[in-house]
Amino acid sequence: MASQQDVAARAHVSFMTVSRVVNNHPNVKKETRERVLAAIRELAYYPDASARALNTRKTENIGVIFPRKEYVFSRPFFIELCIELEDSLSRRGYHLFLGSTRTGDEYRDPTRLVKERKVDGLILIAPAVSDPEIERLAEANVPFVIVHGSSDAADCAYVDTDNAAGTAVILRYLFELGHRRIGFVCGNMSEINARVRYESYGSELKVMGIPFESDLVCTGDWSIESGYEAFRTLVRREPRPTAIVFSNDQMALGAIRAAYESKVRIPEDISITGYDDIKYAAFTVPALTTMRQPLDEVASAAAELILDRIAGGEGARGVVLSPELKVRSSCRRIG
């Protein structure tokens, strides 16, 4: 493995000049630069990231932190987001660390990742609202941004879509289709998004003049299984709801299965909606009406925010993007 010294010797310059060439400093004579470049190529020289990081105190790595592992399986949406993040960040020369939290496991402590200088900053995906981790990060002055969530500890950078508006759009869509008895299935209520969607359900009901009935609400955990169970519960209510709003697509997927088993037809007997517009939503039978979240925009906004934070910037605190209703075939007009 060649070092700057080796390159310097071969090019008959000091290693400082090599460093300048590598870092694209302007002050290098053109022909010297070319001589160095040639030596670099001949020796297959690659700068050592650790040595550089030791000096600059920048690793050019970003940590992406997921909720706990089991959770990830229920939420392909977040994985898709993660891939987009990798794409955005890699374009700017950054690499991604993947981490999921495992409570009580020191090795998974995200703060540690920063303190040990393995990463320059953190992107937290859908953390729990009251996650103590977040406050610790803020106190430790660690650059971080939250994607799909926010914290009680007020002022942290975040990127999200407008969940309240999105949920309201769905409800109004159902309302216009003639639905007046609308069930709701929450996600994991430790997450802000789950809460916001639920609250929006309540307030939009009020706007539409529909009384709230706690019997029409179930709490899931975003998983297919929980959607399956929730559907079975809600479909037995008397009188039966004419529509059910699921807080994400996965749960709606479970509902489709449950409906089939109990010989309830969607949308003939009951309408359902999802949220997220995962890749598969367009292929279910019936195809799922859902809210599309602009993954790529969320990712590139998050990328910009974290980079700004790392650079010490105090730019935008939060970015809120708009979801978009995708009407497919899981709802029908009634009454």
Instruction: Return the one option of DNA, a copy of itself, none that residue 151 interacts with (CB less than 5 to 8 A, by type).
Output: none
> Distance between CA 282 and CA 278 in Å, rounded?
8
Residue 218 makes CB contacts below 8 A (sequence gap 6+) with: 183, 184, 185, 186, 229, 230, 233, 234
Instruction: Return the one option of DNA, a copy of itself, none that residue 28 interacts with (CB less than 5 to 8 A, by type).
Output: DNA
- Name the strand (E) or helix (H) holding 318: strand 318-321
Residues 55-114 interacting with DNA (rule: CB under 7 A): 55-56
CB 152 within 8 A of CB 214: no
- Name the strand (E) or helix (H) holding 5: helix 4-11
| 3-state SS class at 287 | coil
Instruction: Return the one option of a copy of itself, DNA, none that residue 209 interacts with (CB less than 5 to 8 A, by type).
Output: none
Taking CB under 8 A as the rule, which mask of x and - marks residues 98-127 in contact with a copy of itself? xxx-x----xx---xx-xxxx---------
Closer to DNA by Cβ: residue 46 or 73: 46
> Distance between CA 64 and CA 124 in Å, rounded?
6
**Residue 200 C-beta: closest distance to a copy of itself, Å:** 27
Most distant CA pair in the chain: distance in Å?
87
Pick the piece of the chain touching DNA (CB under 7 A) from 2-10, 160-168, 248-256, 261-269: 2-10
Burial of residue 322, with CB atoms counted within 10 A of its CB: 0-12 exposed, 13-18 middle, 19 or more buried: middle
Q: Which of 180, 192, 170 is nearest to 246 (CA)?
A: 170
Q: Which of 12, 69, 237, 333 binds a copy of itself (CB under 8 A)?
A: 69
CB 159 within 8 A of CB 305: yes
Q: Does 49 bind a copy of itself (CB under 8 A)?
A: yes
**Residue 163 C-beta: closest distance to a copy of itself, Å:** 23
Closer to a copy of itself by Cβ: residue 95 or 237: 95
297: its two tokens = 């925009």
Residues 267-306 interacting with a copy of itself (rule: CB under 8 A): 279-280, 283-285, 287
Angle subtended at Cα 256 by Cα 253 and Cα 257, rounded to the nearest 5 degrees: 95
Closer to a copy of itself by Cβ: residue 206 or 279: 279
145: its two tokens = 């941004």
Q: Does 48 bind DNA (CB under 7 A)?
A: yes
Amino acid (one-letter) located at 319: V
Closer to a copy of itself by Cβ: residue 196 or 281: 281
Chain positions contacting DNA, by CB under 7 A = 1, 3-5, 13-17, 19-20, 22-23, 26-30, 32-33, 45-48, 51-52, 54-56
Chain positions contacting a copy of itself, by CB under 8 A = 1, 44, 46-51, 53-54, 59, 61, 64, 69, 72-74, 76, 79-80, 82-83, 86-87, 90-91, 93, 95-100, 102, 107-108, 112-113, 115-118, 224, 228, 253-254, 256-257, 260, 279-280, 283-285, 287
